[in-house]
Chains A and B, each alone.
Chain A
Amino acid sequence: MNILVCVKQVPGSSNVEVDPVTGVLKRDGIQSKMNPYDLYGVELALSLTEKYGGEVHTITMGPPQAKGVIVETICMGAKDGVVLSDRKFAGADVLATAYTISQGIKKSGKYDLIICGKQTTDGDTAQVGAEVAEFLGLPNVANVISVDEIENGSVTLNASLDEKVVKMSVKMPCLISVDGDINSPRLPSYKVKQTVTDDMVKFICFDDFEDKNPDNYGLSGSATQVERIFPPEKNSEKCTISGNPEEQTESLFNLICARKLI
């Protein structure tokens, strides 16, 4: 069984500031890391191949340094990976990103199962997985919390719909997006890192794609444009309520009423 996991390199800190003037993320000095939600996807893929046999491959899109995130997946147990990197891909929104990844997947191999994380911690749109499935014409299930079994070319899984869990059987090949916190992702191995060779990470660029129309990629292939990025307003107002529990409750109640919050 061939499993592909889509991963992304995101800022390593959750406290990335936005320049209030230019609206650009201040990435200087901020290290990058694998999108935390993707770790659950990598772990699920590895545990499935441990149980059913097969190989785990990974794919990412980004600048050349995104190679680091592929190496990290190899250190966790993936066999190899692909970096989709080209200046023509720059400025892509979710649609253009999903299209680029779908082209990259077509170019890189045949997979029985494609796994995405729920969303990324920098974009937070949670759309790319579903759109990739659409472009590839694959069945798609989101919010997957566990896989029960893989048998006769189908995967039986459980997906969370907040209020309920739906159990379903999906014909492979298919694409699933996994929820966060569904497993304990294994740690990358330093020992494996020593054995990673260049040929384990393949770079694919625009010229390698089947669809060579530049209008489908990057900024020009994007259906949406970001008009402005700005930090949320900060409110540092603080108020301390003291007294015994009854007095504190009353003060809090009066305060909430005065602010017309209730």
Chain B
Amino acid sequence: MYNKITQDDIKALCKIVGEENVICGENISPDYGHDELGGIEKMPDVLVRVHSTEEISAIMKLAWEKVIPVTVRGSGTGLVGAAVPVEGGILMETTQMNKILELDRDNLTVTVQPGVLLMELAAFAEENDFLYPPDPGEKSATIGGNISTNAGGMRAVKYGVTRDYVRALTVVMPNGEIINLGGKVAKNSSGYSLKDLVVGSEGTLCIITEAVLKLVPLPKISVSLLVPFSDMKSAIEAVPQIFRSKVTPTAIEYMSRDTILFSEDYLGKKFPDTKNDAYILLTFDGNTDEQVDADMKAVADLCLEIGAIDVYIVDTEERKKSVWSARGAFLEAIKASTTEMDECDVVVPVNKVDEFIKFTHLLADEMKVRIPSFGHAGDGNLHIYICRDNLEQKEWENTLEKCFERMYNKAEELGGLVSGEHGIGFAKKGYLKKLYGDTPIALMQGIKQVFDAKNILNPGKIMS
């Protein structure tokens, strides 16, 4: 149904972006055939590096006319194959569209190109006394990728997710038309929110070429608490009680001793405390010492009351670095601890996190497989990894399939959803379909059809 790229198409692409930005066939690095987790692999026929909205528009006009599939890729840090060109065709890399275009201090917005990295945006905002609250662990992801998956991150407990910070988007439609969605406005009741539909659409509806993002004033004070518990059950059970105390931390993460030890090995750096089996890590921010201290004290006292072994104060740059750098490396550290792994990024109601984690422990025992996890205890989004270790290929495939099925069934039973922040991409399509049922999937397919009648943009993803 798609046309193969011809030499004429290559010439046309070279004319649009310049010869040096068009890479074909065997000259394309194998890295472009997979994302960070691997597993789903397919090389594009041509890799095109783009630099402007106009270039993208011209490419899409060509692809639309010639019916060539196009997949957009940022840093390639995805975990579900969303940026893998499963139908081949053009892979469009946006990393060179990496300019921060405007800081609007009156409207508290920053305008960026999609290839700006999350860590660059975070640093830029901070230098200017602002905070860009979404804070996913993968700091080298592009903002375009973050918007496309509606990435969440650790500060979601208090500040929400990427969608809450996208004010406006400039996008290129699959036929090459350039349109603007949303605006530098705080309110918007102007018809269907197409902007919000594009956020989280994993590059299937249109191509984001510019984004206006909301900033908040940088909180002057930020302190974390590392709270050790004798076991994971007690650690996780503390979280709903913290919410009941009506204090809202910025982040509540949980981590097990095993995961921390993997991270020590991976980073070659000792964590400040590894004596206990389970930890929760909380952050509080605000503008006065009194306010932050009061919140911190309330939660610290509560934790001790309900059985925490101690409460450690993480209050200086050095201490924050020693704790949060380990937290930031968990995914890579677990990956380095095994031969192969796959991940489950379910989200469940906050008061069901404990039940879900317990379930994964039982499942690990039953399936005789290692299932380490960490995640956002404060928003119910868990990152659970099934490790292959020494399993034979066939055994691994069977185990993986059974584990995933059982975990997604459990998530459904607890009122949860397939993905909290990594997206559906290619890898989780079946689970989405099963959980949502026919009508929601048909609605999504209908929306896709309206945006992209020729199905050339990131085909084979989410629900297709």
Contacts and interface: CB of A to CB of B under 8 A. Distances in A.
Interaction A to B:
yes
B102 interface: no
Interface string A10-26: 00111000000000000
A42 to B, nearest CB: 12
Contact of B311 (A13, A183, A191): A191
Nearest to B225: A190
Contact of A184 (B225, B226, B270, B314): B270
Interface string A183-198: 1111111110100000
Interface stretch (B134-142, B175-183, B315-323, B420-428): B315-323
A31 B317 CA distance: 12
A183 B270 contact: yes
Interface string A125-142: 000000000000000000
Nearest to B312: A187
B316 A12 contact: yes
B300 interface: yes
Contact of A244 (B20, B316, B317, B318): B20
A5 interface: no
Interface string A30-73: 01011010010000000000000000000000000000000000
Interface in B277-318: 289, 300, 304, 310-318
Interface in B216-236: 221, 225-226
B25 interface: no
Nearest to A32: B316
Given A12-B316, A34-B316, A190 B310 contact: yes
A187 B275 CA distance: 13
Contacts of A31: 221, 289
A244 B316 CA distance: 42
A189 B272 CA distance: 12
A31 B222 CA distance: 12
B316 A190 contact: no
Contact of B316 (A33, A189, A193): A33
A191 B316 contact: no
B322 A184 contact: yes
B272 A188 contact: no
A234 to B, nearest CB: 14
A244 B221 CA distance: 44
Contacts of A188: 312-313, 315
Contacts of B300: 190
B310 A191 contact: yes
Contacts of B272: 184-187
A167 to B, nearest CB: 22
B271 A184 contact: yes
A34 B313 CA distance: 13
A191 B304 contact: yes
Interface residues of B, number: 24
B270 A190 contact: no
Contacts of B273: 186-187
> For chain A, what secondary structure do more than half of its interface residues adopt (helix, strand, loop), or is it mixed?
loop
B85 to A, nearest CB: 24
A190 B318 contact: no
Nearest to B264: A184
Nearest to B226: A187
A78 to B, nearest CB: 15
Interface string B92-122: 0000000000000000000000000000000
Contacts of A14: 317
Contacts of B304: 190-191
A187 B20 contact: no
B406 interface: no
A201 interface: no
Contacts of A34: 316
A190 to B, nearest CB: 4
A190 B316 CA distance: 15
Contacts of B4: none
A186 B300 CA distance: 18
B11 interface: no
B20, B300, B313, B314 interface centre (most CB from chain A within 10 Å):
B313
Nearest to B297: A190
B269 interface: yes
A16 B272 CA distance: 27
Contact of B313 (A39, A185, A190): A190
B318 A75 contact: no
A29 B193 CA distance: 43
Contacts of A183: 270
A11 to B, nearest CB: 11
Contacts of B221: 31
A258 B13 CA distance: 37
A33, A75, A184 interface centre (most CB from chain B within 10 Å):
A184
Interface in A180-224: 183-191, 193
Contacts of A39: 318
Interface in B353-400: none
Interface string B255-277: 00000000000000111110000
A184 B269 contact: yes
Interface string B313-342: 111111100110000000000000000000
B318 A36 contact: yes
Nearest to B303: A190
Contacts of A13: 317
A51 to B, nearest CB: 15
Nearest to B300: A190
Nearest to B311: A190
A77 to B, nearest CB: 11
17 contacts: A12-B316, A12-B317, A14-B317, A33-B315, A36-B316, A36-B318, A39-B318, A75-B313, A183-B270, A184-B271, A187-B312, A187-B319, A187-B323, A189-B313, A190-B312, A191-B310, A244-B20
Interface of B: 20, 221, 225-226, 269-273, 289, 300, 304, 310-319, 322-323
Interface of A: 12-14, 31, 33-34, 36, 39, 75, 183-191, 193, 244
Given A31-B221, A184-B270, A184-B271, 10 more contacts: A31-B289, A33-B316, A36-B318, A183-B270, A185-B272, A186-B273, A186-B312, A187-B313, A188-B312, A244-B20
5 closest A-B pairs by beta carbon, nearest first, are A187-B312, A184-B270, A190-B311, A33-B316, A190-B300
